[in-house]
A and B are shown apart, each in its own frame.
Chain A
Amino acid sequence: MHKGTWSLLATLATLGAVQAVAASDPASASTPAEPQGCITVKSVAEIEQETVNDKGERVKRLVPAAKVVPGMEVIWTVTASNVCAQAVGNVTIDNPVPEHMRYVPDSALGAGADIVFSLDGRRFAAAEQLRVRDADGSERTARPDEYTHIRWLFRNPIEPGRMALARFRAVLK
Chain B
Amino acid sequence: MCRNGVGAYPKPQSIDGWYSSMRLFIDFVPVLVWALLAIALVAIMLLASWVLRPHILQNSDKTSSYECGEEPVGTAAVAFPYSYFLYTVLFVIVDVMGAFLWLLSVSPLRISEVIVWQTFVFVVLIVLGIAFALHMLPQTLLDGKETLRLYRESKAAREQHDSGVQV
A binds B: no
- The chain A residues found within 8 Å of chain B, CB to CB, are none
Q: Which residues of B contact A (CB under 8 A)?
A: none
